[in-house]
Structure 1
Amino acid sequence: MSCFFKTIKDSEKVNKTDFLMKNGENFLEKLITSCNGKYNPIRSYSAEEVKEATNNYDIQKVITSDASYELYKGLLRGRWISVMKFGDTPTSSDAYEYCYNNIVFASQMSHKNILRLIGCCLETRIPILVFEPVEYGTLADRTYNNDPWQPYFVPLLLTQRLKIAMELANALAYFHVGFSRPIVFRTINPINILFDEQNVAKLSDFTLSESIPEGETHIKGWVAGTMGLIAPDYMRTGICNEQSDVYSFGVLLLVLLTGQKIYDPSRGETGGDYWLLLHVKKCNENNRFIEMIDPFIVRQVLCARKVQQLQAFTNLALKCASESPNDRPTMVDVAKQLRQLYLNHEPI
């Protein structure tokens, strides 16, 4: 019997070694290809350490999740962390690629509003990623005030919304101009924007991120993203570039403005109202501007100056979400305009 258990342990050890070697080789190959060997150092953790840190991936510790992964809160070596674990099944080849995409792009980032990769575990078939702590909810948690399942909901003041918008715009501009080849983020979504203990917003999830090839102005291929956030030109042609991110960011600004979901069948009486962008356009055109603003903002003192600021914010969001990519501003311009709005805002 002891020989039997020894065989199992030896087998597990061999598997861990095999995974470590294979994952390490793949990781370095993809990293060097993507960023010319320039990346931030990341730490190595064992499978047992990460498992213990999350209490064996306790569902109660899930911060947010997507189709391919769960992000857990954990405590590792005396410090709080976030652990991204991808689905690990024999058919999860996509999850394997998604995981490496996260490693490659996250390890290149150096921006306070982008989730920082601390390390990873290469001992499992699909590596497990360790990020800085962000256990204080997502932007979806903090914005959708009509969802009883949101444990972190606290009404955001207009000042806070402007600050979040400005900082996320800076982060996206960093993707577009901070590297030798622009990076298209492609996963702008309220569930992928997380908060740390100081309430600093962090962009996360590099699953669909991609660098524009050398000498090219766009990426062409399969359409990826969340319905309602995907630019119409990208949907039609499969052509994606920085302006596709600008469109998605415009819709995100409308989420911050209205406190409403991107798609909601309970909104309005027609299908057009189900989609947030169409709903806002309709209200704006029919002089029902105040009706679409988050009631929490409206309940604060609504002076003429504040209405002007809200209208400017709306106009910028709609400009970003223009039908034609040629009519959209760059993220650098968006970041500048949001900074001016934030600096000119007088908290009430």
Structure 2
Amino acid sequence: MFACLKGKRHQNNQTIFRKNGGALLEELVAFCDGRSNPIRHFSAEELLRATNYYANNQIIVQDAGYLLYEGSLKERPIFVKQYVTNFPGPWSEHFAYRDIVIGLQMSAHKNVLKVIGCCLETQKPSVVYEFTGKQILSQRIFATNVESVLPLKCRLRIAVDLANAVTYLHTAFSRPVVHRDIKCSNILLDHNNVPKLIDFGLCISIPQGQSHVEDAVLGRMGYSAPEYTVSGYLTEKADVYSFGILLLELLSGRRPTDVIMVHNVLHDDDQHRVEIFSKVVDPRISIEEEQLQDLATLFARCTCDDGVKRPAMIEVAKELKRILQSCL
């Protein structure tokens, strides 16, 4: 592992480097079935200078477990993710390693923020990403100025891209990987409004030959599937549920707390679902009746309380693509 981490290390950081390097290697071996990928190593000093010593005005995303900073390295714009060192829970040590490992494997996908390298000299590793632009999806859909309003076609393209990325996570590896933290604040938009997933810290793989995995309940409440919230029981269908909530958030332009309330009303009144859904959709976007019905139906299927009845993410992606094509 150390041989594939390129870069010099300050003598005082050797102990931390060895600890983080060993843990990262374990994650790589576990996730990649014994194969590991080279990753560039940056020194702690390099990232301090790149982010102006982690200045507050450089923060782009502030999440419960990490801060994402804008920076510049050798005149090249970058992002640097710094994990919160006092995040509670015995499992928190593994978030950073898992994020780096799965982020590396997912970096080839156009809707994932590409990992450039990492720093293992800090108490928790830091991750360095390509720079794609500073727009956060959650901020764009909540924007009040007319110029920033995303039209329906753009929102559907974003939904299709994200559905494809989650489908890739579920199907591209030897074992399915469940994201379990799909939300608008974990997504950046580039200058063409192409979405980029930026966090894989809570991902968990389903063991070989098993249909599910059980784990501690993590992630934002309201986005989590009922069966996971109650029992810690996880399948890929948990991500489908979270994606359904994100889709409603994307189409309504409402904040998460409002979206959860709307979700409850929609499920309590099946007979008037389309009518209620029409009142929920962002009034600033134009949508036809057939598209409204199709999206209301898809949302209901994704967020069904019975996980078995939810569609697979590949089905969700195909249906969203069909609805998008009806707009073109």
Query: Aligned in 2, Cα 1:136/1:14: closer, same or farther, shift over 3 Å?
Result: closer
Choose from 244, 253, 256 the match for 1:262.
256
- Decide whether the 8 Å contact of 2:170 with 2:178 is kept in 1: yes
Residue correspondence of structure 1 range 28-47 to structure 2 within 5 A: 28-47=25-44
Residue-pair matches, total: 317
RMSD over aligned CA atoms reads 2.3
Matched, 1:292 2:280: yes
**Alignment match, 2:313:** 331
Residue 137 of structure 1: CA displacement?
A: 2.0
Paired residues of 1:64 and 1:70 also in contact (CA < 8 A)? yes
Q: In 1, distance between residues paired with 2:207 and 2:12?
A: 36
- Which residue identity is paired with 1:228? G
Determine whether 1:194 maps to 2:174.
no
Q: How much does 1:95 deviate?
A: 4.1
* Structure-2 separation of matches of 1:49 and 1:96: 23
Match of 1:63 in 2: 60
Distance 2:114 2:70 in 1: 14
TM-superposed deviation, 1:245: 0.3
Q: Which runs of 5+ in 2 are unaligned?
A: 1-8
Secondary structure of the residue that 2:223 maps to in structure 1?
coil
Q: Do structure 1's residue 96 and structure 2's residue 93 form an aligned pair?
A: yes
Query: How far apart, CA to CA, are the structure 1 residues paired with 2:317 and 2:260?
Result: 28
Aligned to 2:6: none
Deviates more, 1:82-91 or 1:254-263: 82-91
Counterpart of 2:141 in structure 1: which amino acid? Answer: T
Q: 2:103 aligns with which of 95, 103, 106?
A: 106
Q: Post-superposition shift, 1:310?
A: 2.1
TM-score (norm. length: structure 1): 0.85
Confirm or deny: 8 A CA contact 1:283 1:292 kept in the other structure: no
**Is the Cα contact below 8 Å between 1:32 and 1:38 reproduced in 2?**
yes
Give the partner amino acid of 1:70. Answer: L
Query: What corresponds to 2:47 in structure 1?
Result: 50
1:4 alignment partner in structure 2: none
> Which one has the largest radius of gyration?
1
What is the SS of the residue equivalent to 2:221? coil
1:330–1:30 distance in 2 versus 1, CA, 3 Å: same
Displacement after TM superposition at 1:246 (Å): 0.3
Tell me how far apart the structure 1 counterparts of residues 63 and 132 of structure 2 sit (CA, whole Å): 16
Residue 237, structure 1, aligned to residue 231, structure 2:
yes
Partner residue, 1:9 = none
Q: Is the 8 A contact 1:81 1:133 kept in 2?
A: yes
Shift of 1:108: 1.2
In structure 2, the partner of 1:178 is 172
- The residue matched to 1:80 in structure 2 has which SS? strand
User: Which letter maps to 1:106?
Assistant: G
Q: Measure how far apart 1:21 and its partner are.
A: 2.2
SS of match in other structure, 2:135? coil
Q: CA deviation at 1:289?
A: 3.8
* One of 225, 238, 242 as aligned partner of 1:248: 242
Q: Distance in 2 between matches of 1:14 and 1:290?
A: 62
Partner of 1:341: 323
* Secondary structure in structure 2 of the residue aligned to 1:21: helix
Per-residue deviation at 1:94? 4.7
